[in-house]
A and B are shown apart, each in its own frame.
Chain A
Amino acid sequence: MDLGTVVGLVLGMVLLTGSILVGGQIGIFINIPSLLITVGGTIAATFIRFSLADVLGSVNVAMKAFFYKLKPPEEVIQEIVTLANIARREGLLKLEKQPIEDPFLKKAIMFCVDGHEADFIEEVLSKELQLTSQRHETGINLFKSMGDAAPAFGMIGTLIGLVQMLTSMEDPKSIGPAMAVALLTTLYGAVLANLVFLPIADKLSLRSEEEQLNKKLIIEGVLGIQKGLNPRVLEEVLQTFLPPKKRKAAEAGE
């Protein structure tokens, strides 16, 4: 589970609710028609922009931001170096029996064990990396577009409210409450966009980058294993993929 996402979301909600409670009643901030316009409109626009499968799968994609915990790249490097040592000592065929959790790494190692050429391995794995990146991009774009649509529908809701208010101006006392309700949709849209949709899109983007880094490490590492590179040299090559701070931490960990 990704604590950062949960903490951020809960903290945002608590702070918003807290500030509302300090200023008065929470009841005046709840309005079902406004909620329907904002949420419903956003979902409707998303259905138009994306395929049905993408929208229905968006819940699973969003779950990635909350529950998907990726292996740190330092650990991926260590696993590759361990495999390189085994291959150097026992031969490539011994790698077949190694317990490997990551399906991408497992697949890459099986290519080595099957005796495929480096060019083939690199081409197939790079293609898979590219396609994974494209799939991630769809999920990210979906939440970004929801982040765009939510404030827009909030504004649409406000306009609807204003039109309704302006058509019945007989009682000046009702203008204030009607205006407040009209503005609620804008609030809902802004909150949904800036506290839910856009942060999830950014988190998914970060996850995608992390996953791509791990996959790049695996491709480079497996090509090194297949070539018979010295594990120490291979580790140094893979360390260059890490930012300097992480590189130092990994060296200290040794």
Chain B
Amino acid sequence: MSEKEARTHVRIDDRILLRFRRLTPEEFQEKMLRYRTGEESPWIDPLRPPGEARKLDYHLKKLREKNRDLAEVLEILALRMDRLLLDMKAEEIRREFREISANLSGAGLRVPLGERPQVGDLYELDIGLLPEYYFFRAYGEVVRLEDSEVAFRFVWITEDDQDRLVQHVFRKQILQIQISRRAVEK
């Protein structure tokens, strides 16, 4: 990121699952129209129907206020069930997605794409956040090419997915801070 660009979201280095496809501007517009009219859904998560994660968070939060232990246990059970479902879908996910290193933020990402696009090109980016295996679709515009990496700025992402992505970044940030702190203590 250049000094002149105003940063809107904190960035972290992470491992993600990625599936991508280059689009023409016309294809992108067509996609947007289909989403707006409801002919197509941007939802790609193989485990959770749209909005389910947020709904689960909401109810768990309410339950935590009344019975913290029960809420914690149910959350653990939900995660375990997710893992079982993931094992069933593992082959499909491995076939379609690549696990790669990425520099990630709520506003975009930088990844070794394996191809050399032009600045301004549009891509359909299907991203899986690890280890929770939360999948979402976003559309990114190539803003920079850095050595073997391509930097994307999201031009379209649902607010739910962006919030989820930011929360994932924060979670990773805390883990990185904990690791740094432990290293300093040693």
- Residues of A bordering B, CB below 8 Å: 87-93, 113-115, 117, 226-230, 233
By CB atoms of chain A within 10 A, which of B106, B159, B170 has the most? B170
A226 to B10, CA, bound (A): 13
User: Given the complex of chains A and B, what is the CA–CA distance between A50 and B121 in angstroms?
Assistant: 76
Chain B's nearest CB lies how many Å from the CB of A130?
Answer: 16
Known: A114-B177, A115-B174. 9 other contacts (CB 8 A): A87-B10, A88-B9, A88-B106, A89-B8, A115-B175, A115-B181, A228-B163, A230-B163, A233-B163
Say which residue of A89, A93, A230 sits within 8 Å of B177 (CB atoms): A93
| Inter-subunit contact B177/A228 (CB<8 Å) | no
> Does A92 contact B163, Cβ atoms closer than 8 Å?
no
Size bracket, chain B contacts: 20 to 34
Interface residues of B (CB under 8 A from A): 7-10, 106, 159, 163, 166-171, 173-178, 180-181
- A selection of 18 A-B contacts at a CB cut-off of 8 Å is A87-B170, A88-B106, A89-B7, A89-B8, A89-B9, A89-B10, A91-B173, A92-B10, A92-B177, A113-B177, A115-B175, A115-B178, A117-B174, A227-B167, A227-B171, A228-B168, A229-B167, A230-B163
- Least CB distance, B91 to chain A, in whole angstroms: 32
Set of chain B residues within 8 Å of A229, measured between Cβ atoms: 163, 167
Q: Are B181 and A114 in contact (CB under 8 A)?
A: yes
Of chain A, the residue at the smallest CB distance from B160 is A230
**A residues within 8 A CB of B173?**
91-92
- Residue pairs across A and B with CB atoms within 8 Å: the count is 50
A87–B105 CA distance with the chains assembled, in angstroms: 12
Q: Please name all residues of chain A whose beta carbon is closer than 8 Å to the beta carbon of B106 when the two chains form the complex.
A: 88
With both chains docked as a complex, state the minimum distance between the C-beta of B157 and any C-beta of chain A, in angstroms: 13
Q: Across chains A and B, which 8 residue pairs bring their CB atoms closest together, nearest first?
A: A228-B170, A115-B177, A91-B10, A228-B167, A115-B178, A228-B166, A230-B163, A115-B174
In the bound complex, CA of A86 to CA of B177 (Å): 17
A92, B170: Cβ atoms closer than 8 Å? yes
Bound CA span A113–B168, Å:
17
**Is A228 touching B178 in the complex (CB atoms < 8 A)?**
no
B10 neighbours in A (Cβ, 8 Å): 87-92
Q: How far is the CA of A114 from the CA of B176 in the complex (A)?
A: 10
Q: Could you say which residues of chain A place their CB within 8 Å of the CB of B8?
A: 88-89
Determine the distance from Cα of A117 to Cα of B169 in the docked complex, in whole angstroms: 15
